[in-house]
Amino acid sequence: MVCPICGKHIRIICSKDSHMESLSLYELNALVRRSLEQCLPDECWVQAELSDVRTNSTGHCYLEFVQKDPRSNSLIAKARGTIWSNVFRLLKPYFEEATGQAFVSGIKVLVQVTVSFHELYGYSLTVQDIDPTYTLGDMARRRKEILKQLEEEGVLTLNKELRMPRLPQRIAVVSSPTAAGYGDFCHQLQNNPGGFYFYTELFPALMQGDRVEESVLSALDKINSRSDSFDVVVIIRGGGATSDLSGFDTYLLAAACAQFPLPVITGIGHERDDTVLDSVAHTRVKTPTAAAEFLIDCMNEAADELESLAARLCDGVRNLLVQEQQKLVSYRNRIPSAAYGCISDAKLTLLTVRKDIVQAVTASLFRQHHRLELLQQRLADASPEKQLARGYSITLKNGKAIKNASLLNEGDEIITRLYKGEVVSVVTNKLSKK
């Protein structure tokens, strides 16, 4: 039989005759081992995904390498792996420092392995080296896919589009309560040179490990229920390993931050580190201290603008006062001449009015005097004496004028008043005129 890998001939004893010689299981496994040793190179590079990574007390790392169908995500290959302690204590920090990714299950790696087959323990791979650039490429691809998905959903830049409050004083902090970075953040805010007041409230969350996503999402949910109580959200992490940043490269956490109703400020890594969460956050800074400095700078900008507005207001008021003062001086200088003009006009008007009044009064008096004379003449013409002088007389009975003869009776004594003198008569006969 020809080996499909190396092309060498392998002798396998088999027969349909049960009486012929057969192989024991050990012999078969030994044959497999020798065949693999003859056919395979001493070392080869293998692409696979890590699974079931664990370390024992001696420092050896035991794991499984798996490969999944890209369409169904079902396992199509699996192999047991080992990293001896003398290799693992060098390989692990090298990998994590280069990639910023923890050496844990679920990541894709390119490893150099030797293939071994033991009659008792079977097939296994022993890791000799690792290429971090492959994992970096896979991580970058995964981040790119997440960002592309968020962009297609139209939420990638939503948080960035939020307007940062002019006075970000009410701060919801997502961090570990024991993290050194949280203490540095609070100290920086409390001791700011401008003396600005900041209110901070901690929403505890895990900043490393497998539960970062779950823990941070829970904290964000609590903040969202009280969103009116805060101006911004700060997610900070300090003092942890760079390899723990993988928890911030998840779709769910990125989507939650991208759509959060408050501006999100991240300070979870170093300057060279870049996570999906940093890409969707409103503002990304390097460290918790830098996050505090950013908030202080926002307050300083608002204070500077306020001082500028105050200075402009003072200048405007000062200029307005100068203008009004100049107007008052001008008005004051114009008052005497205006007053003299008004007095002169008033005097002229008064003289004219007085002349008109005199003329009007004189004319009125003349008319009333003429009317009075006419009335006097009419009174004189209508007086009894005037009538009596014309030959008329007045008949009186008991001092009252008699206008109708029917009012008299025979025997009544009447007095007839003439222009000159009176005549007393007694009625003896009366004629009634009908």
Per-domain boundaries in the chain: 41-137, 153-301, 387-426
Residues 100-111, mean pLDDT to the nearest whole number: 84
127-136, 195-204, 233-242, 318-327, range with the lowest pLDDT? 233-242
What does the DSSP assignment read for 129-192?
EE-HHHHHHHHHHHHHHHHHHHHHTT-TTTTTTSPPPSS--EEEEEE-TT-HHHHHHHHHHHT-
Residues 207-233, mean pLDDT to the nearest whole number: 92
Name the fold adopted by 41-137.
Answer: OB fold (Dihydrolipoamide Acetyltransferase, E2P) (2.40.50)
Per-residue pLDDT at 18 exceeds 90: no
Answer yes or no: are the C-beta atoms of 181 and 237 closer than 8 Å: yes
Strand, coil or helix: 400: strand
Answer yes or no: are the C-beta atoms of 299 and 195 closer than 8 Å: no
**CATH architecture, range 153-301:** 3-Layer(aba) Sandwich (3.40)
The Cα–Cα gap between 320 and 315 comes to 8
29: Cα within 13 Å, side-chain hemisphere: 11
Predicted local distance difference test score (pLDDT) of residue 404? 82
Q: Determine whether 346 is exposed, middle or buried from the number of CB atoms within 10 Å of its CB (0-12, 13-18, 19+).
A: exposed
Model confidence at 140, pLDDT cuts 50, 70, 90, reads: confident
Predicted local distance difference test score (pLDDT) of residue 15? 46
The residues, ordered by sequence, that sit 6+ positions from 47 with a Cβ below 8 Å of its Cβ are: 108, 109, 110, 134
pLDDT (tens digit per residue) in 155-164: 999 999 999 9
The Cα–Cα gap between 92 and 372 comes to 138
Model confidence at 197, pLDDT cuts 50, 70, 90, reads: very high
Predicted local distance difference test score (pLDDT) of residue 133? 85
Residues 407-415, mean pLDDT to the nearest whole number: 85
Triad 63, 238, 137: Cα angle to 5°: 45
Model confidence at 414, pLDDT cuts 50, 70, 90, reads: confident
Residues 281-294, mean pLDDT to the nearest whole number: 92
Longest Cα–Cα distance in the chain: 205
The Cα–Cα gap between 298 and 234 comes to 14
Per-residue pLDDT at 366 exceeds 80: yes
Q: Please indicate, yes or no, whether the overall pTM of this predicted structure exceeds 0.85.
A: no
